[in-house]
Structure 1
Amino acid sequence: MANSSNHMVQYEGFLTVVPHRPTFPRPSVRISTEKDREAGLLRQCFRMILCYEKASSDDSGWMVAGWTKTSIGIALSEKPVLAGRLRRAEDGGLELVSNDSGVRLVEARIALRLDEFGGLRNKEEERKQLVYWKSIDDQDTQFSPLMYIQVTNFKCGAYAIGISCSILLADPFSMSSFLKRWSEIHMNLVTESLSQKLPLFYLPNFGKPNSTQVYSPNYEPAKETSRQTLIFKFANLTVDNEMQRIVALSCIDKVNRRLGKKVTSDFSLLVKNPNNDMLKIDTISVKEVLSLESFKNLTGINSKDYSWGEYIDADGINIAKGNKPTETVCWISSPDEEDLVMIISSESNMTVIVTVSTTNDA
């Protein structure tokens, strides 16, 4: 891609969207982790890009963003934690509170066609333009949004929806479930409002056509390390805390064998149980990973490997009736070379998501 300003995303508008109804009571989730690991965890996020072709003559990213300002607010009322913020508990630890501070909605444009911008799976620098994310500062946790939604308009009329979400806020599966529910609300809202040609919040109405002021964020996004994620799903597996750790070690070993990568750093182990008000983050040391004896008893346990596409099933995230994403890209982002294991338990099923730096130190 040429280094022309026309090939860079231009930010046109920023808006905070809060839940449609006030949240009461305000549930909170305690984050249990070591103090010295907080900074790295605050900078890690799940990112997802959904690309859509223009569905009709009236369709555009500006229209989608306009209706999103209402539809996301309704969806947040059903899952208010996504509009929450981190705060310091009395003992100095972190907790996530559903205080209705909102998610950040970003509207942007780029002077390229979608096909010129295609192949995002192999274009790290290009795809980062489509997902706005400002790293959370440890000194500013209570004010920093934990979720951003960016709608980018392409020159051809196509558009992309980019989602950035702190890993402390939601795991990839719960985020995709939320987006599917939001798409249902969005399509119903647009259908019920057919008599209203334009959404109430329609950015082109607030400025002169083709002369919108370009906004350049006053910060330099941190450089991300190159990372790769593998996903494992275990069926009919009920485990305790010790067994969760053994399963995580087994998956780490599989990932590093496939990548031919030598384990040189500790892993952050994030464990999420859906009915728990505690998010536990522990450390898996290099010594544990290298000690294969600890998970020999996993022989015979049935697991299936998944790709992001199989795991997320983004086809269910439709913006207009029958308008499925033409391309979907997911990844877990971090400016640090910190490896991560996420364990998501649901009844008797367990999903393990392993993300490692692709730097080979062997």
Structure 2
Amino acid sequence: MTPAVAVTDLVKRYKKNPKPAVDGLSFEVRSGEVFGLLGPNGAGKTTTVGVLTTLVIPDSGSATVEGVDVVKNPTKAHELFAVVPQRNNLDRSLNIRQNLVFHAQYHGVGRAERNRLADEILERMGLADRAKDKIDIVSGGQAQRVMIARALMHRPKVLFLDEPSTGLDPQARLFVHDRITDLRADGVTVVLTTHDMDEAAKLCDRVGIVDHGKLLALDTPAALTRSLPGSTTVGVTVSLAGVQPEAVADALSTVDGVERVEEVADGPSTSDSGQFRLYTESEPAVALPLVLKVLSGLSCDVTDLSIGTPSLEDVFIHLTGRELR
């Protein structure tokens, strides 16, 4: 079966950066799945999606949508995909319904069909009663729904979504998530980029994690999470009382069953406190007494303690690091 999206040995360089933005990237997206492309800022996600949506010309390699080479045949490719950007790019001179109808007309959809589709999709997106509203008065969540509705007007086989729920309130976010799930049920392939690991874990059938233009991992969120060492996480915040954080991390790493210890730099740490995350194969009832014993031996008072399981965010940080980009 032809993949919905395929990227093969993709390379893209920009003149002002000696390192490639995309460096031999290859992956495939199956037809009808929701696929997440994850990575830190500057990882190559935007450039990759730019190539797939004909906005960026690669230096080498190939990219196809539904088997159509996006470089060699961009006009045909545009018939097969749609893009929902992160920022509002709706036509403010038109009302909501007119934005949809104009988009369909541009793609050659007949008058009767585009009017029927506009009514159907507006109803589906919860916008039927706002059809005549000007874009200037709609909220951020409504604008996002209008952009998704507009993108669906020429019945694309692949939908590219860039940060689909950024800036949305919880109700609008849930509504957008439900519509993405509906699209998958209708057989539309969805490729989304997001920095929200919970969103990716919830929506995506598979995710690809990229950094420095290379693919680091590709699998289901559950499989990627299982790939981390340790089936339990223990988060602990301690009063350092003159003890160096490195000494605490080293001591915690000696606890039986602990696979890895991280100092959490973005936690509530100060010069007098430190936050650490342990990954262990031991059950919490076994691990906790051992952890507390080690900390007691260092005269470190525990101020906060939590138990959990590894998440997709843990996988992301493990593969890409904690450095700010």
TM-score by length of 1: 0.24
Structure number with bigger Rg: 2
- Structure that is richer in helix per residue: 2
Higher relative contact order (CA 8 A, sep 6+): 1
